[in-house]
Amino acid sequence: MSKALFREFLRSIRRTIKRYLAIIAITGLGISVFTGVRATGPDMEATADRYFNDNNLMDIRVVSTIGLAGEDIDTILAVDSVEAVMPSKFVDTFVEKDGAEAVGVEGAALVCRAMSLDFGLAREASAGADDSAYMNRLHLTEGRYPDKPGECVLDSSEINSTTTFEIGDKIKLKGDGENLGSILTTDVFTIVGKVETPLFVSYERGTTLAGGGKLGSFIYIPEGAFKTDYYSEVYVTVKGADAFGTFTREYTEHIKGAADRIQAVSADAVSRRAVLLAAEYTPKIEQGEKDYAAKKAEVDAALAKAQEKVDQIIYYAKNGEAELAKKTAEGQAMLDAARAKLDAAKEEYNTGLARYNEGIVQYNEGKAKADAGRPQYEAAVAQLNEAAQDISDAQERINRQQALVDSAENFVNSADEATLATLIANLSAAGYETSFLESLPLSEVKAVISASLVQYRRVLSNAQEKLAAGIAEYEANKKKVDAATAEYERLDAAKAELENAKERLSQAKIDIALGEAQFQVKQAEFEFKIKDAQRDLNLAVANADTAQAEFDKKKAEALAGLAAARLDLDNGKKLLASLDTASWYVLKRSDLPGNADYSIAVENMDAISGVFPVFFFFIAAAVCLTTMTRMVEEERLQLGTLKALGYTSRAIVSKYIFYALSATAFGAAEGLILGFRLFPRAIFDVYSIIFNMPPILLPFRIGDAVLGTLLISATVAAAAFLACRKELLTHPAQLMRVKSPKPGRKVWLERIGFVWNRMSFTSKVTVRNLFRDKKRMAVTVFGIAGCTALLLSAFGLNDSVGGVVEKQFGAGGVSLFDGQIALSQPIDAGIENSEVLGLLKSDVRIKQTLPVFYQSLDAGSASEGSERMNAGIVVPADTSTVSAFMRLENRKTGEKYQLGDDGVLVTEKFAAKTSVAPGGEIAVDTPAGTVKLKVAGIVENYTFHYIYISSALYEKAFGAPPRYNLVMANLADSMNAGSAADRKKAAADLSRDLMNMDGIMAVTLTDQLIESFGNITGSLNDVVFIFILAAGALAFVVLYNLNNININERKRELATIKVLGFYDREVSSYIYRENVFLTLLGIAIGIAAGIFLHRYMVAVAEVNIVMFGREIKPLSYALACAITLFFALIVNLLMHRSLKKLSMVESLKVSE
């Protein structure tokens, strides 16, 4: 390339910077998705591999039901290809912190596995030693390793526990059905550190016979903390296993050999140990039972005695109480009486006071009245006294005159003349007219005198009479006055009385006050006395309580000791009973909790990588290719000029190839840098929600990098070359001319007059434009369709994956049962007689049960040399109730199957994988040989493979009746009531209660299963979300690029209509219509393509044992369309801006 040409090359980049950047972006996106997504699976695998190898993860784990003795370890070590062994002891326990039991996330007690470890090994390993006998190496995340038996390191993940633990916390272990006292030297441990171990790559900690059946956490404690002389398990590494990737078939096969050899030596080792144990335990238990009985009697007696004592104390305390109550009642009664008396006195006083006050009022009234009448009265008295004087005077006078008269009469009567004469003289002397008497005879005189005396007497009597009237009057007056006097006297008396009363009242008041004071004193005295008594009593009761508590404690201790002894005896008996059926379990890495999930995750990733990124990549490449072709076509004028100037075609072509290569190289570099880091890391981050792994390894994967870069660079460069060659083949003069724009042509639509004539002018223009450049139309539609297809398939995959759990276990799913209960002993004696079944049925929380024989066997099609797959043989005990526990239906035809005796039902994926159809035959490998079975139907199923066989057919085909080892259960409706937390709690309780029943080995509730499945598929959903983002980005870049090309090609046309005076929005809509049409068309085609792509992806992405849902939800269609439209909208908005900026002058100048 000449210097001038190179400069021109740089300029052309600057001129077409948008396009150049678009190619870089699309290439980058394509390559990053291609390499990144494809690298994720291998990266995850490599990470696990490295993690396992670096930490010397065991290859095989041997667990024995009767423990492993030193000889057993030696036996295993001697097995061919065994590299090293690491025996370990463990016990599964509950945990108490600060006196409270730790609770797991399910709401049940947290079960923790305490495992032994020689921490010397761990410390040496930290110092750099690589001892092959130290396996599953720990990583301290904080703290330190234990130094003494009372210390432990704890699981660093507390995801399964609602109780949190800190370094320095003391935890107390509590056995579940085991006497920790005879297993551990201490049950209290101080947490001194937290660790991670490659044994657990996820939050799963495995299963246990303790508690609810699920392990939630683990601790490692020094070996010295164990009293036991045998091991619980032994970890084994196999020679040469490190050379294979842990998830590879080669590794599995390599390990299988060693595992089989260990299994082979197990029978002898087990029986050897069984004999020893029998010899050791039989007399031990015999003696133990005796000791226990003696101890129990002793304890019982001691307890009875102590109880008596305590009872006495309590009796006293109780008695005191009664007495106090009595005393209190008495005192209170007394007080009450005093109170009543006092109250009566008060009452009386109050009435007296009222009466007194009333008297005062009355007296005052009377007095006022009396005072007003007093002068009158006094006058009356004076008058009366006067009258009395008068009357007595008058009477006296009358009396005197009477006496005079009387004496006169006497005198007269007896008088002689002389006397008479004297008398007359006297009389005359007295002034009386006596002259007439002197002349008269005596008798006459006498008569006259008598007559005058009579006369006089009459006067006197008259006077007397008058006086009598006066007296009468006086008497009347006197009476009146007397009455008044009496009134006055009465008033005085009343007053005196009132005074009296007042005095009495004030005396009473004083008395009352006195009484009140006395009462208060009495009451205070009483209360004090009672309080005193109460205190005494409390003291007595407290003493009694203490005595009781002390007794209870002693009793509990004594009983606990007994219970522990009992447990030891029972467990010893159980051990003896189990010696006959004892065996070794030889487990592999894939049996480690979470390990298989991880490998499924890797498989999922690998499967998806085969489709999505490849498709993505091809769309990206196709778009770059078009962009390049267009560019060459646009620059034909320049091509012609250069050619005319004498540049060789080769030089000219090299400019474009260089353009293409440089753009794709930049894009590829960017894509590789981003891809290998971004996608594996992002996806791994998503998985790290469930997996606990070291940071992902991100090796540069040269194969994909080169492949991707070469593919896209070659494609784009080839496009540039072909386009140039086409142009350069034409004559330079012709090239120099403006490429005659494609001639307008009538489109076929115009021939349909009634449609065409009805279309608006602008619609006609749009249709013409659409049909004018079919190539561009095709590319745009292809790009949009590709993006929609990617989006739809990504959303669809989300639906399919997310739907698995729902379809298998959800309401209306395939598995209708609510739980599965694994039995430790199969029901052989007949279902009616089964104790366990009886127990389950009697639990009100369980509505319905179905005993099932379940066995996992290898099966395949009956044809020669067919591939075998692991499948579950399911033989229900009762075919009539099967429909309540599982839906046996064909997904496609909807046919409902009855489990008959003429053939078996196989699950859909199994049928598809083995290509067997109804009427065909399958073969099942049993230890005794291969059994062939006729297939009667294919049933819908999403996880794992199952072969459903009726019990009669099973017996006929396998030659033995099924031994029901599993019970499917439906729970009562009450278990589904209440809040989610309530249900969870109820489920956890049920789980725990069932696990506590004899004869039950494991309980799996469907809800719990859904949750653990949901975790894995949920994270796959998030991975799909990353794809959706990538597809969205691609959609955007593609649309933008295509629009850019479109505008560039039609600059002149657009400038012309701008010159004609089209408004900005009219100019935009001139192009919009085409875009909208092409976008809609693209979406329509994309949906069709997406359905196929989805179908393909689901088929490829499925892992062996899972069948994804086949449907795409309506929402996914809507979202795929909406996202594409959204990007189209944004691109159109951007286009509107660049159209606005499009310079008419510049665009029209080109031709000058």
| Euclidean distance between the first and the last CA atom of the chain, given in angstroms as a whole number | 28
The mark string for 1131-1150 relative to another protein (x by CB under 8 A, - otherwise) is -------------xx--x--
d(CA 545, CA 502): 63
DSSP-derived secondary structure letter, 697: P
The binder of another protein chosen from 740, 757, 842, 979 (CB under 8 A) = 740
The answer to whether residue 842 forms part of the interface with another protein (CB under 8 A) is no
266: exposed, middle or buried (Cβ count in 10 Å: 0-12, 13-18, 19+): buried
Decide if residue 745 touches another protein (CB under 8 A): yes
Q: In the numeric block, which tokens belong to residue 695? A: 């940071």
752 binds another protein (CB under 8 A): no
d(CA 842, CA 878): 19
In this complex, which beta carbon is closest to another protein, that of residue 324 or of residue 1148? 1148
Which contacts (CB < 8 Å, 24+ apart) does range 1136-1140 have?
1136/1064, 1136/1065, 1136/1068, 1138/1044, 1138/1047, 1139/1047, 1139/1054, 1139/1064, 1139/1067, 1139/1068, 1139/1071, 1140/1064
Cα separation, 721 vs 478, in Å, equals 168
Task: Please identify, using beta-carbon distances, which residue of 742 and 758 lies nearer to another protein.
Answer: 742
Ranges within 419-478 binding another protein (CB under 8 A): none
Binding residues among 151-170 for another protein as defined by CB under 8 A: none
923 bridge partner residues: 860, 932
Closest of 190, 135, 139, 147 to residue 165, by C-alpha? 190
**Closest distance to another protein from the beta carbon of 694 (Å):** 57
HSE of 814, CA atoms in CB hemisphere, 13 A: 24
SS3 (DSSP) at 1133: helix
Give me Rg for the CA atoms of the chain: 63
CB of 730 to another protein, least distance (A): 18
* Cβ-based nearer residue to another protein, 309 or 746: 746
Question: Is the Cβ–Cβ distance between 158 and 200 less than 8 Å?
Answer: no
Least gap, CB of 892 to another protein (angstroms): 51
Restricting to residues 56-115, name those near another protein by CB under 8 A.
none
Establish if 738 lies at the interface with another protein (CB under 8 A): yes
**Residue whose CB is less far from another protein, 400 or 746:** 746
Residue 690 sits at φ, ψ, to 5 deg, of -105, -20
Measured in degrees and rounded to the nearest 5, phi and psi for residue 700 equal -80, 120
Number of helices and strands (H, E) in the chain? 27, 21
- Residue number, 375 or 743, with CB nearest to another protein: 743
Using the rule CB under 8 A, is 741 a contact of another protein? yes
Spell out, one character per residue from 1049 to 1088, where the chain touches another protein: x when CB under 8 A holds, - when not: ---xx-xxx-xxxxxx-x----------------------
CB of 1151 to another protein, least distance (A): 5
Single-letter amino acid code for the residue at 719: A
Among 99, 743, 830, 1114, binds another protein (CB under 8 A): 743
Contacts to another protein from residues 1016-1055, by CB under 8 A: 1052-1053, 1055
- Nearest distance from C-beta of residue 1055 to another protein, angstroms: 8
How many CB atoms sit inside 10 A of residue 51's CB?
A: 18
- CB closer to another protein, 1058 vs 1094: 1058
Cβ closest to another protein, residue 377 vs residue 771: 771
Among 146, 138, 157, CA closest to 190: 146
Nearer to another protein, 239 or 1073 (CB): 1073
Q: How far is the CB of 764 from another protein (least distance, A)?
A: 7
Burial class (CB within 10 angstroms; exposed 0-12, middle 13-18, buried 19+) of 238 = buried
| Residue number, 70 or 741, with CB nearest to another protein | 741
For residue 1144, the minimal CB distance to another protein (Å) is 5
Q: Given the rule CB under 8 A, which of 15-23, 610-618, 634-642, 735-743 is the region that contacts another protein? A: 735-743
Task: Answer yes or no: are the C-beta atoms of 144 and 193 closer than 8 Å.
Answer: yes
Quote the least distance from Cβ 768 to another protein, whole Å.
Answer: 5
Q: Which of 606, 1074 has the CB closer to another protein?
A: 1074
Q: If binding is defined by CB under 8 A, does position 847 make contact with another protein?
A: no
Kindly identify the residues of this chain, within the stretch 871-900, that bind another protein according to CB under 8 A: none
CB of 1059 to another protein, least distance (A): 5
In the stretch 922-951, what mask flags binding to another protein with x, by CB under 8 A?
Answer: ------------------------------
Buried (b) or exposed (e) across 705-742, using 16+ Cβ within 10 A? bebbbebbbebbbebbbebbeebbeeeeeebeeeeeee
Residue 709 or 1147: which CB sits closer to another protein?
1147
Q: Which is nearer to another protein, 10 or 563 (CB)?
A: 10
Least distance from another protein to the Cβ atom of residue 30, Å? 33
Neighbours of 1015 (CB within 10 A): 16
Which of the ranges 57-65, 649-657, 737-745, 1021-1029 carries the binding residues for another protein, by CB under 8 A?
737-745
Task: Tell me how far apart the alpha carbons of residues 988 and 107 are, in angstroms, rounded to a whole number.
Answer: 6
Question: What are the C-alpha distances in Å from 225 to residues 114, 131, 144, 564, 1078?
Answer: 10, 23, 17, 18, 76
Q: Given the complex with another protein, which of 980 and 1060 has the nearer CB atom?
A: 1060
**In the bound complex, what is the minimum distance in angstroms from residue 757's beta carbon to another protein?**
14
Residues 286-315 close enough to bind another protein by CB under 8 A: none
Chain position carrying tokens 């490295």:
50
Q: How far apart are CA 696 and CA 331, in angstroms?
A: 86
Q: Which stretch binds another protein (CB under 8 A): 1-9, 300-308, 483-491, 743-751?
A: 743-751
> In the window 759-778, what residues touch another protein (CB under 8 A)?
761-762, 764-765, 768-769, 772
Least Å from the CB of residue 1015 to another protein: 58
Instruction: Note every long-range contact of 269-276, with CB atoms under 8 Å and residues 24 or more positions apart, other chains counting.
Output: 269/71, 269/72, 269/75, 269/584, 270/64, 270/66, 270/582, 270/583, 270/584, 272/71, 273/64, 273/66, 273/67, 273/68, 273/69, 273/71, 273/72, 273/582, 274/66, 274/579, 274/580, 274/582, 276/69
- For residue 1074, the minimal CB distance to another protein (Å) is 11
CB of 1149 to another protein, least distance (A): 8
The minimum distance between CB 8 and another protein, in angstroms, equals: 18
| Complex with another protein: residue 338 or 1144, whichever CB lies closer | 1144
Task: Please identify, using beta-carbon distances, which residue of 577 and 1145 lies nearer to another protein.
Answer: 1145
Please say which residue, 780 or 820, places its beta carbon nearer to another protein: 780
Where in 473-502 is the site for another protein (CB under 8 A)?
A: none
Nearer to another protein, 164 or 740 (CB): 740
Per CB under 8 A, the list member of 695, 699, 744, 919 interacting with another protein is 744
Beta strand ranges found along 544-651 (DSSP E): 584-588
Per-position DSSP letters for 1097-1111, written without gaps between them = HHHHH--TTB-----
Residue with tokens 């006596």: 434
CA atoms within 13 A on the CB side of 137: 23
| Binder among 14, 249, 742, 1141 for another protein (CB under 8 A) | 742
Size of the site for another protein (CB under 8 A): 31
Q: Are 899 and 876 in contact (CB under 8 A)?
A: yes
User: Would you say 347 or 1066 has its CB closer to another protein?
Assistant: 1066
Tokens of 12: 């052309």
Site residues (vs another protein, CB under 8 A): 738, 740-745, 761-762, 764-765, 768-769, 772, 1052-1053, 1055-1057, 1059-1064, 1066, 1144-1145, 1148, 1151-1152
